[in-house]
A and B are shown apart, each in its own frame.
Chain A
Amino acid sequence: MEEVDKILIHALKQVGTEVSEETGSVKQFSSELIVEAVVRCVRVIDSGLGGALPTSLPPGMSARFRVGMSLAQACQDIGYKGEIGYQTFLYSNEPEIRSLLMFLVEKLPRESAETSDQPQGKSAVLQRAIAAAIKAQLSVPWLPPNCRLPLHSETQSPGALHRFHVQPLSLPHCSPGKKQLKEVKDYHRDILPPVTAQPSHHASVVASILEQHTAELSAAQEWDNEWNSQGLLSRLKPQEYRSRKLTRLRKRIQEQLRSAAQPSPESALGGPRSTCDLSELLQAFRGSAPSDHILTKGSHFTHTQKFTFTQTETSASIPFVHQSDGDVQLRQQEEQLSLQQQLQQLCSEVDQLTADMKHMTVTHAQVLDELKQRELGNSENVEKMQVKKKTIDLLPDSDDNLEKLKALVEASAKRVVNLASQWEKHRAPLIDEHRRLKEICSKQDLESSKKLSEIKSLHDKIRVSTEEAKKKEETYKQLVTELENLPQDASRLAYTQRILEIVSNIKKQKEEITKILSDTKDLQKEINSLTGKLDRTFAVTDELVFKDAKKDESVRKSYKYLAALHENCNQLIQTIEYTGTILREIRDLEEQIETENGSKTVANLERILSDYKAIRQENSALAAKVREG
């Protein structure tokens, strides 16, 4: 019972009942404590029911009685089936209270104990703590740096915050397939500083390394994704797939550039004119490699423009060195004007020339085409002429030549037939071969597509299983943290051990009981056989003695004695049995007395009497008040 009481008291404490340390069992519970415990449990189980109930007993007797009645009603509403009334609380007896409390504790919702312990949850508490800390920091007045105590410097100085800036790193990559140049190896060995020494600021080391790794990782992942989604379907090797994609892309870019570079009438000046210009432009980029960071966009035309401009300026500025200042200014203005005019003229000339040039190139191409066509016509004509010349040569000896021609035609027809038969001979096996190969090909196609689908499904499976594994890991972690957060004081292990002990005890007791039962059975058997034996021996002896008793007086006496002995023995046995039953009854009665003692009947009776007196007093006082009123 002690264990049960401990569990009950623990649960009641969690609900919020103030059970003092000394009370170790339900026996020691006072009426007030019982009422408080029951009310708190009822409140947790059903806040609507328990809200109206007071946690402590009022002083007035009739009020107490009412509280007891309402409590009993509430317990019955919750579903308590046992006997309950106001007397359960006011005049408590241990087993009833224990069964009531056990019922209530079982009814308690599992979470309620914990939630009542931490009503807001950890995150809310943490956020409140953060807010409080910030408020405290804000309320501290600002101090100039020199006056700061170490306490302040933590919150008021900007601190050692580093911006997450990245600088490029150089890492030696060793790919097994490629052989590295000796110079590269030397560089990596002798000159390349370690990664931690490469960035100019020590603070950006971590940032740079992290950035480099994420960049490489994401590139690898993206490639992996693309290869799994599209690359596998194309049935190419990775390199082939890459190169094909590259050429496709190049083509697209070329088309884009070409369409963008089509000369539109509005943009005659500036802007790239044609693909030819663009390639020159690119050449210029590569060759000159300017040191500023943004590459200036310029065309061939602007370059030439600049060039002519600077040339004319330098050639023009030389003769006017010896003039006076005013003259010089005037001259310069004039010069400028003339130069501008010249420039415009030159510009227009250049425009005209470029237009001319384009026209010329077009006409040149046309002329070239024409020339080619003419040449083709020419060669055809020459062939025709040769055929005609031969026929003219053959004309004089026409009959003979005709015969010859016929023979020739026949021979060639024969040859054609011959060749055709030969071709048939060759053709048949070749066609067979072709068909066979085709079949093999289609089979392989089928197989490969099957394998592809298998690979795809495998990939899917891998993804799904990794996701599952991740989820499970997360749940595992969550459960571990939950386990760690569980209250350790409810010593589960101790309880289970205790339960196991009790179970083993019960087993032992059961064994003993069965032993005793079998013993009593044996005894019963023995008793039965003995009584049987006794009856039989008595009957035999009785007969024998009775026969002799007719003849002999002394024997008659002994017969009387025998009968008396038998009767006396029977009486003795009966008496012993009676004593046994009486002893049993005594024991029963003793037990009853004990239980009655346990339920504190006498004390409760006394209390009932005193309470009765108190109620009568209250009643008489009230009656007196009524009379006075």
Chain B
Amino acid sequence: MVVLLSRLPATDCIKFCHRVVDGLCGREPPRRSDHGTTWSPEEWLQLLDSLSAFFRLAVGSNSSEEEVLGGLADVGSSHAEAVLSVLRARREEIRDALLDRTNSISSATLQDFDWQLRLSLSSDKISSLHTPLLSLSLDVREDAALRSVTMEMNREELNTLISSLEAANKVVLQMK
């Protein structure tokens, strides 16, 4: 389905492919509205899927440039050249993204986290409390869906969490 690429002029093709790779690396993918009516929605999806699959395959199996050109035989030579140059430029980035994905091969992975420090001045029973509380929210990716896990900890609980995380980091360091 990479053939659909030949509807773009060769200069735009490089930009478009870079945007596709951006999407592959976790940034914003290209939008169909930017390209007007060049493709139908179905074709658009197909093109995106096939292009990203192509990039993944090329980087993942570490294929040589001849093999890549062979895979692009049905697209025009200038377009194939453009795709190849994009691949050359972004090979490292795609590789990192793929490695990242392979690393998160488990049912739930930590995507991101955020924290807020709060000072509770008083409660309904105690007039002056002055206890700092940390509310930590973890964004966990579970079966392709993002789930937010929020917890609130006082100083001791936070210390236990940090010490256990440090122990985990020590193990990770041995693997680096």
Binds B, one of A152-160, A232-240, A281-289: A281-289
Assembly CA distance A181 to B27 (angstroms):
23
Is B49 an interface position by the 8 A CB rule?
yes
- Among B28, B89, B122, which residue has its beta carbon within 8 angstroms of that of A200? B28
Binds A, one of B56-64, B66-74, B155-163: B56-64
Is A187 an interface position by the 8 A CB rule?
yes
Assembly CA distance A134 to B121 (angstroms):
10
Binds A, one of B2-10, B34-42, B100-108: B100-108
Give, as a whole number of angstroms, the nearest-CB distance from A226 to chain B.
7
Is A523 an interface position by the 8 A CB rule?
no
- Among A198, A287, A293, which residue has its beta carbon within 8 angstroms of that of B27? A198
Interface extent on A, as a size class? 20 to 34
Q: Which residue of B lies closest to A134 (CB)?
A: B121
Give, as a whole number of angstroms, the nearest-CB distance from B76 to chain A.
19
Q: Which residue of B lies closest to A249 (CB)?
A: B175
- Among B102, B122, B143, which residue has its beta carbon within 8 angstroms of that of A131? B122
Contact check, A168 vs B52: say whether CB atoms are below 8 A apart: no
Give, as a whole number of angstroms, the nearest-CB distance from B63 to chain A.
11
Give, as a whole number of angstroms, the nearest-CB distance from B68 to chain A.
13
Assembly CA distance A168 to B173 (angstroms):
22
Residues of B contacting A294 in the complex (Cβ-Cβ under 8 angstroms) = 105, 107, 143-144
Contact check, B121 vs A181: say whether CB atoms are below 8 A apart: no
Contact check, B49 vs A291: say whether CB atoms are below 8 A apart: yes
Q: A-facing mask of B14-40, CB < 8 A → 1, else 0?
A: 110010001001111000000000000
A127-B130, A131-B122, A295-B105 known; A165 and B112 CB under 8 Å?
yes
Q: B-facing mask of A131-168, CB < 8 A → 1, else 0?
A: 10010000000000000000000000000000111111
Assembly CA distance A187 to B94 (angstroms):
14
Contact check, A164 vs B114: say whether CB atoms are below 8 A apart: yes
Residues of A contacting B173 in the complex (Cβ-Cβ under 8 angstroms) = 222, 226
Q: What is the interface of chain B mostly: helix, strand, loop, or mixed?
A: helix
Is A397 an interface position by the 8 A CB rule?
no
Residues of B contacting A163 in the complex (Cβ-Cβ under 8 angstroms) = 114
Residues of A contacting B93 in the complex (Cβ-Cβ under 8 angstroms) = 170
Give, as a whole number of angstroms, the nearest-CB distance from A295 to chain B.
5
Contact check, B25 vs A130: say whether CB atoms are below 8 A apart: no
Contact check, B89 vs A286: say whether CB atoms are below 8 A apart: no
Assembly CA distance A187 to B52 (angstroms):
18
Assembly CA distance A445 to B175 (angstroms):
30
Contact check, B121 vs A291: say whether CB atoms are below 8 A apart: no
Q: A-facing mask of B80-92, CB < 8 A → 1, else 0?
A: 0000011011100
Is B147 an interface position by the 8 A CB rule?
no
- Among A199, A200, A289, which residue has its beta carbon within 8 angstroms of that of B57? A289
Contact check, A293 vs B101: say whether CB atoms are below 8 A apart: yes
Assembly CA distance A291 to B176 (angstroms):
27
Residues of A contacting B115 in the complex (Cβ-Cβ under 8 angstroms) = 164
Give, as a whole number of angstroms, the nearest-CB distance from B108 to chain A.
9
Contact check, A291 vs B143: say whether CB atoms are below 8 A apart: no
Q: B-facing mask of A157-190, CB < 8 A → 1, else 0?
A: 0000001111110100000000001011011000
A187-B89, A191-B15, A289-B53 known; A170 and B25 CB under 8 Å?
yes
Q: B-facing mask of A293-304, CB < 8 A → 1, else 0?
A: 111000000000
A181-B89, A287-B61 known; A168 and B175 CB under 8 Å?
no
A183-B85, A186-B89, A187-B18 known; A168 and B26 CB under 8 Å?
yes
Q: Which residue of A lies closest to B174 (CB)?
A: A249
Residues of B contacting A287 in the complex (Cβ-Cβ under 8 angstroms) = 57, 60-61
Residues of B contacting A106 in the complex (Cβ-Cβ under 8 angstroms) = none
Contact check, A168 vs B25: say whether CB atoms are below 8 A apart: yes
Assembly CA distance A74 to B60 (angstroms):
93
Contact check, A170 vs B27: say whether CB atoms are below 8 A apart: yes
Residues of B contacting A286 in the complex (Cβ-Cβ under 8 angstroms) = 57, 60-61
Give, as a whole number of angstroms, the nearest-CB distance from B118 to chain A.
12
Residues of B contacting A400 in the complex (Cβ-Cβ under 8 angstroms) = none
8 Å CB interface, B111-170 against A: 112, 114-115, 121-122, 128, 130, 139, 141, 143-144
Contact check, A191 vs B60: say whether CB atoms are below 8 A apart: no
Assembly CA distance A183 to B14 (angstroms):
11
- Among B27, B60, B88, which residue has its beta carbon within 8 angstroms of that of A184? B88
Q: Which residue of B lies closest to A181 (CB)?
A: B88
Assembly CA distance A289 to B61 (angstroms):
10
Assembly CA distance A198 to B27 (angstroms):
8
Q: Which residue of B lies closest to A219 (CB)?
A: B176
Assembly CA distance A130 to B89 (angstroms):
55
Contact check, A293 vs B144: say whether CB atoms are below 8 A apart: yes
Give, as a whole number of angstroms, the nearest-CB distance from B102 to chain A.
7
Q: Which residue of A lies closest to B142 (CB)?
A: A294
Is A403 an interface position by the 8 A CB rule?
no
Most buried by A among B26, B27, B121, B128: B27
Is A292 an interface position by the 8 A CB rule?
yes
Q: B-facing mask of A222-258, CB < 8 A → 1, else 0?
A: 1100100000000000000000000001000000000
Residues of B contacting A289 in the complex (Cβ-Cβ under 8 angstroms) = 53, 56-57, 60, 98
Q: Which residue of B lies closest to A292 (CB)?
A: B144
Q: Which residue of B lies closest to A123 (CB)?
A: B130
A163-B114, A295-B105 known; A184 and B57 CB under 8 Å?
no
Assembly CA distance A226 to B169 (angstroms):
13
Give, as a whole number of angstroms, the nearest-CB distance from A182 to chain B.
9
8 Å CB interface, A288-322 against B: 289, 291-295
Assembly CA distance A130 to B53 (angstroms):
56
8 Å CB interface, A312-370 against B: none
Assembly CA distance A202 to B97 (angstroms):
23
Residues of B contacting A285 in the complex (Cβ-Cβ under 8 angstroms) = 102
Give, as a whole number of angstroms, the nearest-CB distance from B153 to chain A.
17
Contact check, A166 vs B144: say whether CB atoms are below 8 A apart: no
Give, as a whole number of angstroms, the nearest-CB distance from A347 to chain B.
27
Contact check, B18 vs A191: say whether CB atoms are below 8 A apart: yes
Give 6 nearest A-B pairs by CB, closest first.
Answer: A187-B89, A289-B56, A183-B89, A183-B88, A286-B60, A168-B26
> A-contacting residues of B (Cβ < 8 Å)?
14-15, 18, 22, 25-28, 49, 52-53, 56-57, 60-61, 85-86, 88-90, 93, 97-98, 101-102, 105, 107, 112, 114-115, 121-122, 128, 130, 139, 141, 143-144, 173-176
A-B contacts, 13 listed (Cβ < 8 Å): A130-B121, A134-B121, A165-B114, A168-B27, A181-B89, A187-B86, A222-B173, A222-B176, A249-B175, A286-B60, A287-B60, A289-B57, A292-B144
- Known contacts A127-B130, A164-B114, A199-B27, then 16 further A-B pairs from the complex at CB < 8 Å, ordered by chain A residue: A163-B114, A164-B115, A168-B26, A170-B93, A181-B88, A183-B85, A187-B86, A187-B90, A199-B28, A223-B176, A286-B57, A287-B60, A292-B144, A293-B141, A294-B107, A295-B102
